Each structure stands twice: as structure tokens, then as C-alpha cells.
Amino acid sequence: MNKAKRAAVIAGNWKMNKTPSEAKALIEEMKPLVAGADCSVVLCVPFVDLPAAISAAKGSNIKIGAQNCHFEPSGAYTGEISAAMLKELGVEYVIIGHSERRTYFGETDVTVNKRTRAVLDAGMTAIVCVGESLEQREQGITAELVSMQTKIALGGVSAEQLKRVIIAYEPIWAIGTGKTATAEQANEVNAAIRAAVAEVYGADAAEALTIQYGGSMNAKNAAELLDQPDVDGGLIGGASLKAEDFSVIVKAASR
Ligand code: PGA
């Protein structure tokens, strides 16, 4: 199996942007621009925007995702949202372990694993983020580190559940900085992640896994990145807040 047989997935990560009415307006603007795309199109929006986003996207090819979820099914976790709550709304994707959550909200490889399993157990797709800091890249431990992050995140995930996992390689130094990894750097790390997954699940499962790149991917550089043999899609922050730019990236991923 090669890249042509893997699902290409372009996912927007809106982060803490857009109110529900703004979310509805942006999705209405995006719908005609991404209609007929030959890749999966996902928008991961703030929790409170989910009902408006799901209703706005109904009948279109846009799928809606969340940006986090708690690992416990219910209980005394003030301020948290469970996988079942998201599932009932019609959420299909959940970003897990974004570096902003690891940096600002104490997320660890262990909690990333728990959240990943909660998302998968609820029947949704997990977009699991891994990536190195600039210091770690300069130390030369990138491949080793992201391989370990990936293996820990997938602990206890069955081969069947792996079919609903997307890995997003996001070098921390490239997120929101305008500094993109080169296409070669992105491809090299994505290939290392695939090799790590192959060690645990075998070559066929690894070959079928969608591995995105994220970090300052935009309308200008998307085609070159997405052209790489191991880059199967993108997780897009800033550029996913602009309908036109986002649709250019979606077109670049369409085959
Ligand atoms: P960026 O964010 O595209 O704005 O760099 C990517 C991400 O954090 O997912």
C-alpha cells in the first residue's frame, strides 16, 4: 500500500477563536469552497461552537471535531467535557495532545494516552499530536522523541481502533510562528512515526495510517508539503480561520 491508498485528511484547528455565530458564518462561507474535495475536511472548533458548527455543516462534506476531551466518562471534574458528551452532539473527530495543551495545561504523554483511548472507545476518530521543541531538534532527538510520544499515546489501542487514529506531527517551533518545517524535514519525521507504528502494529497497519503535518501550513506551502510521500494531510491553525486560504489547502490535498 502507498500514499494514494491512505485517507488524505485536512483538519482545521480553530483554537480559541470564533463565537458560535461567527463559527456558523465561517462554515457557510467555506462550504461552497470545499465542496467536492477529494479528501476529508474537518474543522475542530471550540466546545461551545460545536452545536452551531454541526448544524451549519449538515449536508456538506465538512466534518466537525473538538479540540480536547476528558478521559473519565463522568464525575467531579469541574470544567471538563467527556467523550460521550461530544459523541452525542455528533462530533466525529477530537484533537488530543496538542502542544498548547501539553505546554499550558499540564498534558503529559500519559494523559494523552488516556484521552486517546476515551475518544476511540466512544467511537470517534482521534487526531493525536506529537512534536519536538527547537531545543530537542537541535539535540538531534526528534525522531526518537516523536516515536516515543506516538507509542505511549497508542498504548492499549487495538489494531481495530488504530483505523480511527490520525497522527499529526507538529514541530512546536513551527506552530503559529510562520516558520514551517521543510518538506523534507516533515517527511522524514512522518516516516519515523510510521516506522514506530509498524514496530507495534505491523507494516500493513502503519502503511494505512494517516499522518498529517502541522505548523504554519498555509495556502502557499501546502502543496509542497502534501506532495511528500509520508505526509497524508495537514492540521491547520491560523490558515483555517480564512475560508479562501483553507480551501486552497484542501484543494492541494485533493487527489
Ligand atoms: P498553525 O497551527 O497552523 O497556526 O501554525 C497549527 C496547529 O497548532 O495545529
Contact 216 CB / ligand 1 (< 6 Å)? yes
- Asked whether the predicted pLDDT for residue 68 surpasses 90, the reply is yes
More confident residue, 131 or 7: 131
Per the annotation, the verdict on 132 as an active-site residue is no
- Asked whether the predicted pLDDT for residue 221 surpasses 60, the reply is yes
Give mean pLDDT, residues 38-64: 98
Contact 235 CB / ligand 1 (< 6 Å)? yes
* pLDDT at residue 30, as a whole number: 98
Q: 124 pairs with which residues across the strands?
A: none
Give mean pLDDT, residues 220-235: 97
- Asked whether the predicted pLDDT for residue 5 surpasses 80, the reply is no
CB-based contacts of 218-224 (< 8 A; 24+ apart in sequence): 218/180, 218/245, 218/249, 219/244, 219/245, 219/248, 219/249, 221/180, 222/248, 222/249, 222/252, 222/253, 223/252, 224/183
**pLDDT confidence tier of residue 46, bands split at 50, 70 and 90:** very high
* pLDDT at residue 2, as a whole number: 73
- Alpha-carbon gap, residue 98 to 169, rounded angstroms: 10
Share of the chain above pLDDT 90, in %: 95
Give mean pLDDT, residues 107-118: 98
Query: Atom 1 of ligand 1 has which residue's CA nearest to it?
Result: 237
Task: Write the secondary structure of 157-209 as one string of H (helix), E (strand) and C (coil).
Answer: CCHHHHCCEEEEECCHHHCCCCCCCCHHHHHHHHHHHHHHHHHHHCHHHHHHC
- Alpha-carbon gap, residue 172 to 145, rounded angstroms: 13
Give mean pLDDT, residues 2-11: 88
Give mean pLDDT, residues 73-87: 98
Contact 212 CB / ligand 1 (< 6 Å)? no
Contact 130 CB / ligand 1 (< 6 Å)? no
Annotated active-site residue in 70, 98, 100, 107:
98
- Asked whether the predicted pLDDT for residue 165 surpasses 90, the reply is yes
Annotated active-site residue in 100, 107, 132, 170:
170
* pLDDT at residue 1, as a whole number: 53
Residue of 170, 180, 213 with the most ligand 1 atoms within 8 Å of its CB, for mutation: 170
Query: Atom 7 of ligand 1 has which residue's CA nearest to it?
Result: 237
Is residue 12 helix, strand or coil? strand
Burial class (CB in 10 A: 0-12, 13-18, 19+), 98: buried
Query: Atom 9 of ligand 1 has which residue's CA nearest to it?
Result: 237
In the block, which residue shows the cell 490558515?
A: 239
Q: Among the atoms of ligand 1, which is closest to the Cα of residue 129? A: 9
Is residue 11 helix, strand or coil? strand
Give mean pLDDT, residues 84-100: 98
Q: Kindly give, in sequence order, each residue whose CB lies less than 8 Å from that of residue 134, ignoring residues fewer than 6 positions away.
A: 172, 173
Per the annotation, the verdict on 88 as an active-site residue is no
| DSSP assigned state of 98 | -
Give backbone dihedrals phi and psi of 95, rounded to 5 degrees, phi first. -75, 135
**pLDDT confidence tier of residue 183, bands split at 50, 70 and 90:** very high
**pLDDT confidence tier of residue 179, bands split at 50, 70 and 90:** confident
Phi-psi domain of 164 (left: phi exceeds 0; alpha: psi -120 through 50; beta: other): alpha
What pTM was computed for the model? 0.98
- Alpha-carbon gap, residue 53 to 243, rounded angstroms: 14
Contact 236 CB / ligand 1 (< 6 Å)? yes
Q: Among the atoms of ligand 1, which is closest to the Cα of residue 177? A: 5
